[in-house]
């Protein structure tokens, strides 16, 4: 096993999940965070992907996973994860992929406008 420790936030689905699984496949120690702990929670919200499902998929891989249910919008949750990583003595890679779960792009409600492709984000940036 490689002696590399990573933290992937927002790891229950999408890009975060893919990155976490790729790092685990390489034998890394990976701490993962997400708000959705159980698959039933995701399904109830009309979604898929959970820390429970990620942990199940990770069991087949050579890396070591540490699962943290965390809402990064809450300082106490984030501090708890930081304390756990600090106790391990190191962090080599941070994948800061957490999403706040809101469609507001900024406190002003102003849309960031088109990206390089000319496409704008869905809606006007507010919901």
- Read off the pLDDT of residues 98-122 as tens digits, 9 standing for 90 and up: 976 655 555 555 555 554 554 444 5
For the chain, domains (ranges, CATH) are 5-95 (3.40.50.720), 102-127 (no CATH)
Place of tokens 């199940």: 56
The model carries a pTM of 0.74
Give Cα 22 to chain centroid, integer Å.
14
Question: Which residues, 6 or more positions from 61, have their beta carbon under 8 angstroms from its beta carbon?
Answer: 21, 24, 25
Cα(81)–Cα(7) distance, integer angstroms: 9
Length of the chain equals 127
Residue range 58-78, pLDDT digits in tens: 999 999 999 999 998 899 999
> What angle in degrees, to the nearest 10, is found between the helix axes of 51-58 and 14-25?
20
């Amino acid at each position: 096993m490689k002696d590399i420790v990573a933290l992937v936030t927002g790891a229950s689905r999408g890009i975060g999940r893919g990155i976490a699984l790729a790092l685990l496949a390489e034998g890394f120690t990976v701490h993962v965070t997400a708000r959705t702990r159980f698959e039933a929670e995701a399904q109830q919200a009309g979604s898929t992907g959970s820390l429970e499902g990620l942990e199940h998929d990770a069991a087949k891989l050579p890396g070591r996973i540490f699962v943290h249910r965390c809402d990064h919008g809450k300082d106490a949750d984030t501090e708890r994860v930081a304390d756990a990583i600090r106790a391990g003595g190191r962090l080599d890679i941070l994948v800061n992929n957490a999403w706040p779960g809101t469609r507001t792009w900024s406190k002003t409600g102003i849309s960031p406008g088109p990206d390089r492709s000319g496409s704008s984000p869905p809606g006007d940036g507010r919901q």
